[in-house]
Amino acid sequence: MHDTGTVIQPAPAPEREEQRTEQAEEQNSRHARRFGLPIATCLVMGNIIGGGIFLLPASVAPFGTISLVAFGVLTAGAIALALVFGRLARRDPRTGGPYVYAREAFGDFAGFLAAWSYWATTWVSNAALAVAAVGYLDVLTPVNDHKWTACLAALVLQLLPALANLAGTRYVGAVQLIATVLKFLPLLLVAVGGLFFFDSDNLGPFRASGDSPVGAVSAASAILLFSYLGIESAAVSAGEVRDPRRNVGRATILGTLGAALVYLLGTLAVFGTVAHDKLVNSTAPFSDAVDAMFGGSWGGTAVALAALVSMVGALNGWTLLSAQTPYAAAKDGLFPSAFGKKRRGVPTAGVLVTVVLASLLTVYNYTAGSGGVFESLVLITTFTATVPYLLATAAQIYFLVSGQGERVDRGRLARDGVLAGVAFGFSMWLVAGSGYAAVYQGVLFLFVGVLVYAWMAARKKRTATATV
């Protein structure tokens, strides 16, 4: 990676000493292990690709093959965002990612908003992932016959990744690596195998919706926008990555490119093996593609197993991320101090609180009799997930134009400025794509966080005054 385009500022002496102490404790624990480039890349890829890939081809089929153009546009924006995270991590490789960058650029309040919105996104998303995973588990073994059986299955699917996290970063990395390999093998089988069974007659029209080219790309993009959430995974866990100034950026870019390759090839393979008229109404497009390529009816079982592995891997990664941002905020006095303690390399309080909140939301989903509130919460996270992106990219723009430009190569400054601008535009596109209701409700949720910030900031001020 090249220079960030900004001056790298070392952490203050007390923070460096604290980081060295924590790293020494982690090295002395046989359960803690810092992630190398392969596992950090798997963390990014695994968190970007959950279970949505298995329905994605059918979701964009109504727009025609022009949706592949939308994929390309979004991939360019996602890569720009990945490059910006790499630059920011090189500048400040501490755990917390967007929280760290926003706080350094704009102060405690902006940092807290990034931490608050990201934390809420993780535990609500975990509940949604677990509920969705039960649907795939039901294909393998009946669990949806009774709501309590399904609820118990969802709780177990959340608990197992949490136990892996509590066991230490060594086990988190192992689970993430295994899950990533197991889920990408069948996806790549369809993506590559589909090329041998590809029939252009199955593609259907280029613009199936009748919209203008720009309208069709925009409409398809609205569905695809959130396929790349998770880009920030390596940056958020920078403190657990070996040589983070070098590896966080590489893992972010490699993970994003790997996910994009699977998305594009997988969607193209399904487009070319399943007739367009059938694909538009398909509820299991990858199963239909497997059946079309190899015959039989075992595709549903194979895809359900792959999707289940994919979601468990995503739960494992998101559980780790759910604890990392509160950990960084707690170290700065903006979250309760319990969140700022590690055991075996993992912030245990963050993991425990996340699994409890996600479990309560899961139980609510199965007992309320209506998915209205649960679905609303999930939609809100599509907005709250993008708030840290906006703050992080704005922070990079601030670093570039805050009077430090004369100390770096102007060619690199211009390049980094363009990347930051594209990444900011991509983040704004994500916000717009979440819809009016999600933005409205998400802003209300952020305002609740303002009250929490007032309480934590007052405690921090009182503590500082008492020690003077």
pLDDT tens readout for residues 6-48? 433 444 444 444 455 455 444 445 555 566 788 888 888 877 8
Helix (H, G, I), strand (E, B) or coil at 368: coil
Q: Which of 21-25, 239-243, 339-343 has the lowest mean pLDDT?
A: 21-25
The burial class, CB within 10 Å (0-12 / 13-18 / 19+), for 16 is exposed
pLDDT band at 207 (very low <50, low <70, confident <90, very high): confident
% of the chain with per-residue pLDDT over 70: 87
Range 147-182 burial, b when 16+ CB lie within 10 A, else e? eeebbbbbbebbeebbebbbbbbbbbbbbbbebbeb
Region 50-63 average pLDDT: 78
Instruction: Answer yes or no: pTM beyond 0.95.
Output: no
The whole-number pLDDT of residue 248 equals 85
The residue with tokens 């893992």 is: 251
The whole-number pLDDT of residue 393 equals 92
CB-facing half-sphere around the CA of 98: CA atoms within 13 A: 28
Residue 144 has pLDDT above 60, yes or no: yes
Helix (H, G, I), strand (E, B) or coil at 146: coil
The residue with tokens 């704009």 is: 106
Q: Are 351 and 322 spatial neighbours (Cβ–Cβ below 8 Å)?
A: yes
Region 129-135 average pLDDT: 81
Residue 374 has pLDDT above 70, yes or no: no
- How high does pLDDT run on average in the chain? 79
The whole-number pLDDT of residue 7 equals 38
What torsion, rounded to 10 degrees, do the Cα atoms 317, 323, 325, 326 define? 160
Write out pLDDT tens, residues 380-437. 787 888 889 899 999 988 888 886 544 455 667 778 888 888 889 888 887 877 778 8
The residue with tokens 């991320």 is: 321
Region 226-253 average pLDDT: 82
Q: CA of 63: how far to CAs of 13, 86, 225, 337, 429, in Å?
A: 55, 34, 15, 50, 19
The whole-number pLDDT of residue 411 equals 65
